[in-house]
Amino acid sequence: MYQASTQPRPSIFYDYQVYPYRRPPELDGQAIEHRVAVVGAGPIGLATALDLARQGIACVLLTADQQVSEGSRALAYTRRSMEILQQVGVADRIVEHGLPWRHGNSFYRGQCVYRLDVPFDDDDRYAPLTNLQQQYLEQFLIEQIQAQPLIDLRMGHKVLGVQPRADGADLQVDTPDGPYVLRCDWLVACDGARSQVRQSMQLRMEGTAYEGRFVIADIRCDLGLPTERMAFFDPPWNPGNTVLVHREPFGLWRVDYQLPPGETPEQALAPASMSARINAQLELMGKGGTPWELDWCSVYSTRTMTLTDYVHGRVIFAGDAAHMLPIFGVRGANTGWQDGHNLAWKLAMVIRGLAGPRLLPSYSSERVKAAQEIIDEAGRSVRFMTPPTPGFRLLRDAVLSLSLSQAYARPLMNWRTSRPHEYTDSTLNTADDDNSLFDGGWPQGAQIRNVRLGNDDHLLDHLGASFHLFLFHPEDRVAPGLQHTVETLRATGLPIAIVLMSATGQREVAGADLVLDDRHAHARERFGIQRGQGAYLVRPDHHVCARWMSLNGERLSRAVSRALGH
């Protein structure tokens, strides 16, 4: 019999709520065949369940805990993550409480040797990065789920094991009322780096585990500094190692420091050791003697590992359950949300019987490739921050030394941050469209970027859980052939909307589901439309799968069929 702790976790700034456990109907003899079970109510499981619900797919969401995350954990969310979180309905609350930022500073020998400046595009709604403690993020997602009847959130339900079936999976679940078996057609495992589902299926990740260990310590402290990421290389109190400092909302700061080799997590987290190190770091920042109070601390190590396939029959992996990525460059949750957003619409199409055989495998191929790209990029950051061999240490030290006088060496001290991946080679892209004729805009596989339409009005605000056909025509006409094709597709149950970007400022146009004012031709310019005419077919996750200079119903029909994996 499993019983989650019902004692609120300790915190000096976050008021933990214990959510109720509910007895499952399965324990009273009800045989339920769930369409989808999502395991894990961390950031990825919560958002993926909401994303499935947007697509009209019901799911049961299982989590062992009855409280949100212990500690601030994920903390920094990218613009793309905010766009995905907007789709599932929580971005406004994150903006309301979060701290936006776009600058970083790297210090060596008391000098700021590198200043990171992530550009903020006026077309974007969200800042390049937003900091908010994971507790709040999860709370907002849970509150959104509580208002969503399609999601059966079961807290205090611990998954012990998985029995995959040809047509689904059986989960062994333990609760305060005893164990039960939960049957589902599809299982989405979002149960984190130590995924019980992955272990139960004996699936192994491939990649590298690095030696370096880091302490994360969240302190409440009044430093009076702006929201900018700070990195201190080789500080006198921690020679050869790296210290990172991030500002958090509600008066907190995260101090993230590397441990000397050989030190155990227990030694590192001993209060006297932590106090001395945090005081030394405050001293280094010119804030010596500032009073502070610890909220949470933890030790982590760095891995760059991924499963080589995320779809195993009816069991699908997303987030840290599928890959473990270094936190330098905010790649954990930010990568996981892109997994979930890629998966949700595809699984919905499969369940509705609209998908061809290539659709679900494309989730795995697109996202495994993204993880591998991240691993290649992140490997560089990790080798700089925690040099694995004497050679890497020597070169890192050489770059630090050069950085004091030579500008060319300084970008080597920075790490690339998480970004949306382009599915250039996706099997869902159309081969014979006009992609290569465009000069500008967003190519096949890329995510369409936001477009500012007006004050507090952006393109992505208007998109729903469907395919979108963006049309540009000098006289704002929707060809009857296209209209007919879209109606035929819709009759099969496919969610697809025609968005006319109006050149003339009309409010309504026959055949268009949505008309957006583009009299200033700004959207035309962003989409790379020439001579006023063109079309983009955009997947429900905002990635382009085909684009044309001119389009007819037959070409559209073929592209949609391909995008559905036929």
Partner 1 sequence: MSDPIRLTDLEDFYDALAESVDRATPQKAELFLAKLALQLASEVKDPATLRRALDVALQDL
Q: Which residues bind partner 1 (CB under 8 A)?
A: 394-395, 397-399, 401-402, 406, 408-409
Q: Which residue, 8 or 411, is less far from partner 1 as judged by CB?
A: 411
Q: Which residue, 283 or 397, is less far from partner 1 as judged by CB?
A: 397
Q: Which residue, 209 or 398, is less far from partner 1 as judged by CB?
A: 398
C-alpha R_g of the chain: 25
As measured in angstroms, the least distance from the Cβ of 391 to partner 1 is: 9
Say how far apart CA 220 and CA 208 lie, in whole Å: 34
Q: Which residue, 269 or 402, is less far from partner 1 as judged by CB?
A: 402
As measured in angstroms, the least distance from the Cβ of 240 to partner 1 is: 12
**Residue 373 φ/ψ, nearest 5 degrees:** -60, -40
Q: Which residue, 405 or 455, is less far from partner 1 as judged by CB?
A: 405
**58 and 150 Cβ atoms separated by less than 8 Å:** yes
> Helix, strand, or coil here: 257?
strand
As measured in angstroms, the least distance from the Cβ of 304 to partner 1 is: 25
Q: Which residue, 5 or 406, is less far from partner 1 as judged by CB?
A: 406
**307 and 203 Cβ atoms separated by less than 8 Å:** yes
Q: Which residue, 134 or 381, is less far from partner 1 as judged by CB?
A: 381
Q: Which residue, 32 or 404, is less far from partner 1 as judged by CB?
A: 404
Structure tokens, 16: 């933990």
Say how far apart CA 544 and CA 549 lie, in whole Å: 14
As measured in angstroms, the least distance from the Cβ of 251 to partner 1 is: 41
As measured in angstroms, the least distance from the Cβ of 412 to partner 1 is: 9
**434 and 559 Cβ atoms separated by less than 8 Å:** no
Q: Which residues pair with 292 in a beta bridge?
A: 221
Q: DSSP readout, 511-551?
A: T-SEEEE-TT-HHHHHHT--TT-EEEEE-TTSBEEEEESS-
As measured in angstroms, the least distance from the Cβ of 393 to partner 1 is: 10
H or E element, residue 403: helix 390-403
* Per-residue buried b or exposed e for 3-29, using 16+ beta carbons within 10 Å of the residue's own CB: ebeeeebebebbebebbebeebebeee
**Helix, strand, coil fractions of the chain, as percent rounded to 5:** 30, 25, 40
Classify residue 518 by burial, with Cβ atoms within 10 Å: 0-12, 13-18, 19+.
buried
As measured in angstroms, the least distance from the Cβ of 119 to partner 1 is: 25
H or E element, residue 496: strand 496-502
Q: Which residue, 224 or 390, is less far from partner 1 as judged by CB?
A: 390
Q: Which residue, 394 or 510, is less far from partner 1 as judged by CB?
A: 394
| Strand 315-317 to 33-39 pairing | unpaired
| Dihedral (Cα; 319, 324, 330, 331), 10-degree rounding | -60
As measured in angstroms, the least distance from the Cβ of 383 to partner 1 is: 15
Q: Which residue, 106 or 134, is less far from partner 1 as judged by CB?
A: 106
Say how far apart CA 276 and CA 285 lie, in whole Å: 14
Q: Which residue, 263 or 397, is less far from partner 1 as judged by CB?
A: 397
**Residue 38 φ/ψ, nearest 5 degrees:** -105, 125
Say how far apart CA 51 and CA 363 lie, in whole Å: 15
As measured in angstroms, the least distance from the Cβ of 172 to partner 1 is: 55
As measured in angstroms, the least distance from the Cβ of 377 to partner 1 is: 19
- Dump strand ranges (E) for 57-179: 59-63, 76-78, 99-101, 103-108, 111-117, 129-131, 151-155, 158-165, 168-174
Q: Which residue, 228 or 397, is less far from partner 1 as judged by CB?
A: 397
**Residue 42 φ/ψ, nearest 5 degrees:** -85, -170
As measured in angstroms, the least distance from the Cβ of 241 to partner 1 is: 17
Q: How far is CA 149 from CA 49, 62, 146, 420, 488, in A?
A: 11, 15, 7, 31, 30
As measured in angstroms, the least distance from the Cβ of 454 to partner 1 is: 46
As measured in angstroms, the least distance from the Cβ of 430 to partner 1 is: 36
The Cα diameter of the chain in Å comes to 75
